[in-house]
Structure 1
């Protein structure tokens, strides 16, 4: 077994139960609302590969584990919430979210991490095992 490296977007703080569900092999749709992950998704397109890790962005460094997934579809949208209590209270809020459908590809370990400051997409160079089979 040899390792190869790959530079890709990293989504951080993904629940361990979500990662375990993806490892079962079926494509799954995730809804993300964290600002740092939304910023990272602005540079992602269907067909791209990404690293998903349960590690929070503040703690994400080389050596952390995650999984490599392929993006099947991606939609980023804005939801407007209006709260009204007659006659004096009126509040309007907006919430941005992303729905992303992904498919599990492999496990991986982050070799290095870039873009952990506010407003930057987070990239990771990952070590991905390559499997060779005699046949």
Structure 2
């Protein structure tokens, strides 16, 4: 069994990689062209939200990569952090199946693979940070 600190460390590296992946994702999905068709205010909101999403990924990823113990040492801050991160990724997991319509990915090999890979990633993050939260609660 892989030790929890090692899993947190790997999750941190993965979250930072996901933050960096937003550049090729933006190109693949043609976000610049899509944003050009939006009103100026909606395009600005889209870009700001994307920037802050990447910032959140970095904010979650750096401590997980560099100092996994902050998620394991029982503190009130650790409890808040692990619980909040668990809820964040649980909401993202739910969105994977309620926001992204099957017709967008089903029957398309690349999109189907991406859909299932991210389903597994979000589930793994929920389980990992949920385990950290349970440890914070004293279980």
Higher relative contact order (CA 8 A, sep 6+): 1
| Higher Cα Rg, which structure | 1
> Normalization by structure 1: what TM-score?
0.20
> Per residue, is there more helix in 1 or in 2?
2
> Normalization by structure 2: what TM-score?
0.19
> Per residue, is there more strand in 1 or in 2?
1
